[in-house]
Amino acid sequence: MRVIVFFDLPTLTSLDQRNYRNFKKALIKEGFVMIQYSVYSKLALNSTAATTICNKVAAVTPRNGGSVEILCITEKQFSSMRIICDNKKSDIIQNDKKVLIL
């Protein structure tokens, strides 16, 4: 499964900016990788693991306004995503083949 987090957080005040940075750092620390500026993705072994990841994201979400959405999809659905314009090279695996990390 793939857990995708979409967020749009305010950055008007210094407190808003700090909360924004801390949220992004928490996502990265949790193992998320950036797909776009406010879209992060993480692999999950199964739906139970995805639920745990969602709960962790909810725990670090700032409560000062803005919007944070989480979407859980299968790896097959993620791999069928059409990329219309991609000008950068990525290390993100974009298919549903299994990966063994030792």
Which domains, ranges and CATH numbers included, belong to the chain? Answer: 2-79 (3.30.70.240)
Give the predicted TM-score (pTM) of the model: 0.81
Taking residue 86's Cβ as centre, other Cβ atoms within 10 Å add up to 8
Helices 14-30 and 47-60 sit at what angle, rounded to 10 degrees?
Answer: 160
Q: pLDDT digit string (tens) for 28-74?
A: 999 999 999 999 999 999 999 999 999 999 999 998 889 999 999 99
E strands present in 9-66: 33-36, 39-43
How distant, in Å, are the alpha carbons of 15, 16, 29, 78, 80 from that of 42? Answer: 27, 25, 11, 11, 16
Q: Which tokens go with 62?
A: 């700032």
